[in-house]
Structure 1
Amino acid sequence: MSAFNHLLAFQRQTEALSAIAERLGWDQETVMPRGATEQRAEEMAAIEAVLHERRTDPRLGEWIDAADPQNAVEERIVHLIDREYQRATKIPARLATELARVTSLSQGVWADARANDAPDDFLPTLHDVLSLKREEAAALADGGDLYDALLDDYEPGATQAQIAALFDAMRPRLVALRDDVLGADFQPKTLGGDFPQETQLRIARQCATAFGYDWSRGRMDLAVHPFSSGRWQDSRITTRVVETDPFNCLYSAIHETGHSSYELGIDEDYSFTPLGRGVSMGVHESQSRIYENQMGRGRAFTGWLHQRMSDAFDDLSITNADDFYATVNRVTPGYIRTEADEIQYNLHIMLRFDLERDLVSGRLGVEDLTEAWNTRFLKDFGVAVDRPANGVLQDVHWAVGLFGYFPTYALGNVYAGCLNAAMREAVPELDASLARGDAAPGVEWLRENVQRHGGLYEPRDLVERAIGTTITELSLLDYLETKFSEIYRL
């Protein structure tokens, strides 16, 4: 075989093993017995040791140097394998294995601490995770910025300076719009009624189906923190149920359908290669957010959803579809990021971005994190955190070592704003279809222009190819101002 074919065959097995590791993570967060935490940590460490050995195998370097790619696709495959190889060889095997073990254990500690509103039960474990991530960042940064080294794992090419500048540009208009909305004379009604779990889950499945979820290659389960997992022929979604708030369940399901559909929509020829996965978490988030918000929370789809909920829940308090649309998009100074309205969501991300930068740099100690969170939340949202589960313990990301991940949520919103503008121009019949509970025209446009390419292009290149112009936060901000000015009659 040629060097390129050796490289491809070796990578195929690495990709398959990586998918198995991901499946272990899915199992831990959904159906694994709670008493199996320590065993699962050892299993995760063992498979990570095998993966790290493969990712740093000296033969990879030889095959990469000798590879003779014949086209742009093969060139991109070699480039991505080389990028992963260069990154992996900087990290000692001991560190990679220990990170897998500790973050697997940490997830269980976090879940228990969250359930008990006991941050002190979790912070010592978080200290261990952070120490390992700082060690990893130092190895990767090679004297450069620690946070940028971690961020590159989720959004290649992005820097904290770029993101900070983006957030500085976005914050004034977001805050001004929020203040106008919260001070408006008109305020949407709250949703009341009895919303049993099984009925919520039935409608959540209907919503996922409306957005084209392929049930022959996926499934839906419950998780403490909703997520999606898998690729190629098996990509699964999760949601959670709050019996007083069905939107939590329904829109988590739509959001995760966006993530999962991205993985399932990638060109099948890219399976078991580095091209066969989402190119970045920012692009991934653009798909989940555009499914959830620009399509899922639009007037057309909420009209369809209102009818489904009216049929399912006898005592639904809102009988008018226009009122229901306003309620779905109701702006409130809530605690939970995943339940935040479109205006305030990015403000939640800005808070986390600043705190985790301070943690990684050492400017903020883990022992001071709860106070720092509560102080910043009160300043940004005007509400005092009532309990840790609604504050510092609400997200799983730091528990599992995902430092540098949070800003990609806001990048995804910016990308989604740009993609929505282009999609609406290209698919004028979209709202008519959404009103029938069929998102297919929008999903097909996204699959053709974004999803099928997988990792073929760099993140910004992919989005700019899809929209035909330069990425800008103005598309998102203009969309938000137009939408919420209408809803709140500003």
Structure 2
Amino acid sequence: MTAYDKLMAFQRQTEALAQVAGRLGWDQETVMPRGAAEQRSEEMAAMEGILHARRTDPKIADWLAAAEPQDEEAEAQIRQIRRSHERMVKVPGDLAQEIARVTSMAQGIWAEARANDDVAAFLPVLSQVIRLRQDEATCLAQGGDLYDALMDDYEPGANAATIGAMFDRMRPRLVALREAVLGASHQPPALQGHFGTDGQLRLARDLATAFGYDWTRGRLDLAVHPFSSGSGSDARITTRVVETEPFNCIYSTIHEVGHACYELGIDPDYALTPLGQGVSMGVHESQSRIYENQLGRSRAFTGWLFGQMRDRFGAFGIEDGETFYGTVNRVQSGFIRTEADEVHYNLHIMMRFDLERALIRGDLAVKDLEAAWNDRFKADFGVPVDRPAHGMLQDVHWSVGLFGYFPTYSLGNVYAGCLHKAMRADLPDLDAALAAGNTAPATGWLREKVQRHGGLYRPREVIAQACGFEPDEGPLLDYLEAKFRDLYRI
């Protein structure tokens, strides 16, 4: 065996073990008994110890030095392994294990605190998580910016300065559009009524099928905070149900299907290698957001969805498909990020970006986070937070240590805007298919242009190659302004 062959054989075992660790996380958030939380945290720490030892094994450096890549794929594999190895050797193994243990415990504490609107119950473990992630960032940054070091886990090559500058360019147009929309004389009606859990879950499964989800390699379960998990031949999704708010279930499901289809669409030859998963969270979010919004909330697709809703739930107070399109896309200053309309969504991310960067840099104390959140939300959205579950307790991310992750949601929106522009140019008859509930032309285009490549290219490269131009926020903002000015007749 060559050095490259030995490297890849070792890496495949590491990737397989990482999938097992991921399955433990899926189990914890879906079906694990509540009383198993402490034991699970020790199991997660043990798995992280094994993975960290493998990822920092000195043999990797020797194999990397001796490996001679023969093609583009091998070059990309080596690039990804080298990047991971160089990052991991900077972090002590006991710190990596402690992060895994505490964040596993914190997830359960957060879920209970959220259910009880009990911020005080969550703050001690949140303080632990932040201290641990600050310690990790200090190891990784080696004198550089701590937040940038964490962000690089999720979006290689991005940093707070470039993301902040992008947000500064986006904010004025988003705020102007919001003010125009909220001040418009035409306002779509809100959805009202009761939509049973069983009916919502049946519809969710049918929507997943309509978007190309492979049920032989996936499953749908319920979770407090919807997520997707896994890759290769096992990519699972979750959703949640509120019987008076079916759009919550519908669009959470479509969003997570976008994530799962990215993983399932990767070239199977890359399975259990560094190329066999999404290249970054920004690119991952581009898939979930374009499935959810540009496709799932389009006029054409909501026309088909209106018929599905009426057939399953009977009359529900919306008279026709065009009115339903407005209801689906209704703009309002709601509390919950995952339920936010497209106009407000990025404003939620901008707020979290500023808050979590201040937490990691030590500029905001954990004890002051709730007040800072509530003040910022009132300033940005014009309404006071009514309860912690609608405020700082709503997202799972901070409990599990995902600091630096939130900006990738907006970056994913930006990438989705670019992909949508290119897709529409290539598929001029797309609306006719969407109006029949057929997403195959769009999902097939995304699979060919983005998904199949997995980690072969760098994040911005895969988007630029798919679109034929360098990505920026312009196409997204143009799309939003055209859509909502038309919808609100302004």
TM-score, length of structure 1 as denominator length: 1.00
1:223-302 paired onto structure 2 within 5 Å: 223-302=223-302
Equivalent residue number for residue 333 of structure 1: 333
Equivalent residue number for residue 134 of structure 1: 134
Whole-Å separation in 1 of the counterparts to 2:194 and 2:150: 44
Matched, 1:425 2:422: no
- Mark the runs of 5 or more structure 1 residues left unpaired by the alignment: none
Whole-Å separation in 2 of the counterparts to 1:372 and 1:379: 11
Whole-Å separation in 1 of the counterparts to 2:411 and 2:197: 33
Deviation at 1:79, TM superposition (A): 1.0
Alignment-mate amino acid for residue 356 of structure 1: E
Residue pair 1:55, 1:85 contacting (<8 A) in 2 also: yes
Equivalent residue number for residue 394 of structure 1: 394
> C-alpha deviations, 1:123-172, integer Å up to 9, x for none?
11000000000000000001100000000000000010000000000000
Whole-Å separation in 2 of the counterparts to 1:161 and 1:67: 35
Equivalent residue number for residue 54 of structure 2: 54
- Count of residue pairs the alignment pairs up: 490
Residue pair 1:231, 1:263 contacting (<8 A) in 2 also: yes
Alignment-mate amino acid for residue 349 of structure 2: I
Equivalent residue number for residue 456 of structure 1: 456
1:161-180 paired onto structure 2 within 5 Å: 161-180=161-180
> C-alpha deviations, 1:183-226, integer Å up to 9, x for none?
10000011122200010011111111111010110010000000
Deviation at 1:468, TM superposition (A): 0.4
Whole-Å separation in 1 of the counterparts to 2:126 and 2:104: 12
Whole-Å separation in 1 of the counterparts to 2:209 and 2:240: 18
Bigger mean CA offset, 315-324 vs 151-160? 315-324
Whole-Å separation in 1 of the counterparts to 2:381 and 2:210: 34
1:56-95 paired onto structure 2 within 5 Å: 56-95=56-95
Alignment-mate amino acid for residue 162 of structure 1: T
> C-alpha deviations, 1:428-465, integer Å up to 9, x for none?
12111111111000000000000000000000011000
Equivalent residue number for residue 145 of structure 2: 145
Equivalent residue number for residue 355 of structure 1: 355
Deviation at 1:4, TM superposition (A): 0.3
Equivalent residue number for residue 206 of structure 2: 206
Deviation at 1:113, TM superposition (A): 0.2
Equivalent residue number for residue 404 of structure 2: 404
Residue pair 1:3, 1:63 contacting (<8 A) in 2 also: yes
Bigger mean CA offset, 284-293 vs 204-213? 204-213
Equivalent residue number for residue 482 of structure 1: 482
Secondary structure at 2:54 match in 1: helix
Secondary structure at 1:229 match in 2: strand
Shift >3 Å, 4+ stretches:
none
Alignment-mate amino acid for residue 417 of structure 2: G
Whole-Å separation in 2 of the counterparts to 1:50 and 1:468: 42
RMSD after superposition: 0.5
Deviation at 1:345, TM superposition (A): 0.2
Matched, 1:156 2:156: yes
Secondary structure at 1:237 match in 2: strand
Whole-Å separation in 2 of the counterparts to 1:406 and 1:480: 21
Equivalent residue number for residue 472 of structure 2: 472
Whole-Å separation in 1 of the counterparts to 2:469 and 2:88: 35
Whole-Å separation in 2 of the counterparts to 1:278 and 1:350: 24
Whole-Å separation in 2 of the counterparts to 1:351 and 1:215: 37
Equivalent residue number for residue 10 of structure 2: 10
Deviation at 1:314, TM superposition (A): 2.0
Equivalent residue number for residue 305 of structure 1: 305
Equivalent residue number for residue 364 of structure 2: 364
Equivalent residue number for residue 103 of structure 1: 103
Secondary structure at 1:297 match in 2: coil
> C-alpha deviations, 1:257-310, integer Å up to 9, x for none?
000000000000000110000000000000000000000000110011000000
Whole-Å separation in 2 of the counterparts to 1:193 and 1:184: 25
Residue pair 1:228, 1:260 contacting (<8 A) in 2 also: yes
- Mark the runs of 5 or more structure 2 residues left unpaired by the alignment: none
Alignment-mate amino acid for residue 172 of structure 2: P
Whole-Å separation in 1 of the counterparts to 2:64 and 2:317: 62
Alignment-mate amino acid for residue 470 of structure 1: E
Alignment-mate amino acid for residue 375 of structure 1: D
Whole-Å separation in 2 of the counterparts to 1:128 and 1:263: 32
Whole-Å separation in 2 of the counterparts to 1:131 and 1:452: 38
Percent of pairs with identical residues: 65
Secondary structure at 1:185 match in 2: coil
Whole-Å separation in 2 of the counterparts to 1:247 and 1:226: 13
Whole-Å separation in 2 of the counterparts to 1:357 and 1:133: 12
Residue pair 1:310, 1:319 contacting (<8 A) in 2 also: no
Equivalent residue number for residue 124 of structure 2: 124
Whole-Å separation in 1 of the counterparts to 2:429 and 2:207: 19
Whole-Å separation in 2 of the counterparts to 1:433 and 1:376: 42
> C-alpha deviations, 1:52-72, integer Å up to 9, x for none?
000000000000000011011
> C-alpha deviations, 1:345-390, integer Å up to 9, x for none?
0000000000000000000000000000000000000000000000
Deviation at 1:319, TM superposition (A): 2.1
Equivalent residue number for residue 321 of structure 2: 321
Whole-Å separation in 2 of the counterparts to 1:138 and 1:191: 48
Alignment-mate amino acid for residue 462 of structure 1: V
Whole-Å separation in 1 of the counterparts to 2:314 and 2:329: 22
Equivalent residue number for residue 115 of structure 1: 115
